[in-house]
Amino acid sequence: MASIDSRKNALNILRRWFTGKAYIDHLLQKDEHPLNLQSRRFRDALVHQTIQWHRQSEALIAQFLKSSQKPLLQTWILLLMGAAEIFHMEGTEDHGTVHSLVSLAGHQKNFVNAILRQLIRFRDAGGYEHFMADSSVSPGMRHSFPDWLVERWQRQFGDELEHLLSTLNQSPVRMVRLMEDTAREKVIETLKDLDIFMDIHPDREDFFTVSSIQPLMNHEIFTTGAVTIQDVSSVLPEYFFPEGGIYQACDVCSAPGGKTAALLKQTLPEGKIFAYDVDGRRLKQVDETLRRLNFSQYILEEADARNHTFPHVDLYLVDAPCSGFGVIRKRSDLRWRRHPEDLETLRALQLEILENVSRAVPPGGEIIYSTCTFDKAENVEVLQAFLDTHPEFSWGDPPLHAPEHWKDGALPILRTYPHRHDCEGSFAGRVKRT
């Protein structure tokens, strides 16, 4: 049974999240409260589930509140934690949940006890299923998303909206990428030895879906670069790489390094990759990643892609800053920390980077533009807006060897959607200077 201590620690972290602006991953990383591994994993899961589902939980709890009852913040967070456990966390026992949270409620313990027990009775009577099937409950309330995002994606996805929202609330698919084909048998045997269930990805034989990542992190197949942790959607830009290999290329927004590694994997023996990032700390992480993967043909430089003067090469990769909506399954608070004005700011930033990079592109040179979002305003619409103001550029050649269901009509773009492809949402497209 999860300890009271882990729930108390979760309560303290959640209080900081609800009253501040920091992302939850940052708060969890900075927390130094001593917990064993099992308790820490439970705490992390509870924190993420509480944040992810808090809008839905508020609606469920409100059914049992009198109009005069206005709980203090700490009491309210305890109720949200309880709702997350009761409705969304398998393996927790109701009596343990109630006992632990009531013990943290102080003089509000009777109130917390009463509400939690009503939630349990509601669940056991089929109330949750009825709530999820009730068409009078808004999609945002039902799936716990802000209304502005639901309305935005309703316009983009239409009848697919409910499927999209439901998928974004599921646990992410865990994947690893085989970096050395000669190590395939060793990697497969190692995964079996570690009791990690795996399947070869249907679209890419160098990707495995796995049941767990944690046992790999200190194993030699990871530390020596035979595999890396990567989602299959990250390969979209690679389908636009030149088939004869890369001589020189610039990765202008390189952190955390996965796409820089992909460039290096296809770099010719005499070639070189120039990798940049505006954040020096993240650039060090890029270096660590590339060294672990045994690459050496690269030069790193801290630089702002909006104004840096890049060298003249034939290929530029712009893995642009974006909303990150494609990885929302890994980031429980992204839906709450993003706001409509952020999308306009990001779009302007993306175009500013493309504008600056375009100055370095020689005739015949190409820009590959990619993001980790499925929102059209940051993807194909950004590239089209760039082309509308740059007649010296045009759409490049379409990718020839990509899976058909990643393609999008006649345009040279690729995209993945979580609800269609069971991976992260990503985009890549190519433009060429004439």
> pLDDT tens digit string along 382-432?
999 999 999 999 999 999 899 999 998 889 999 999 999 999 999 999 999
pLDDT-based confidence at residue 70 (cuts at 50, 70, 90): confident
Q: What is the mean pLDDT of the chain?
A: 96
pLDDT of amino acid 67: 74
Instruction: Kindly report, residue by residue over 159-218, the tens digit of the pLDDT.
Output: 999 999 999 999 999 999 999 999 999 999 999 999 999 999 999 999 999 999 999 999
Range in 6-15, 32-41, 254-263, 352-361 with the lowest mean pLDDT: 32-41
pLDDT of amino acid 408: 86
Position 20, amino acid: G
- Per-residue DSSP letter, 276: E
pLDDT of amino acid 66: 84
Domain ranges of the chain: 4-137, 175-229, 232-433
> Is it the case that residue 33 has pLDDT exceeding 90?
no
pLDDT of amino acid 69: 73
pLDDT of amino acid 226: 95
Q: Is the domain defined by 175-229 classed in CATH 2.20.28?
A: no
ω before 172 within 30° of 0 (cis)? Answer: no
Q: Is the domain defined by 4-137 classed in CATH 1.10.940.10?
A: yes
pTM of the model: 0.94
pLDDT of amino acid 125: 98
Burial of residue 71 (number of CB atoms within 10 Å: 0-12, 13-18, 19+) = middle
Instruction: Report whether 317 contacts 368 (CB < 8 A).
Output: yes
Give the span between the Cα atoms of 173 and 424, in whole angstroms: 8
pLDDT of amino acid 3: 78
- Architecture of domain 232-433 in CATH? 3-Layer(aba) Sandwich (3.40)
Give the span between the Cα atoms of 424 and 340, in whole angstroms: 21
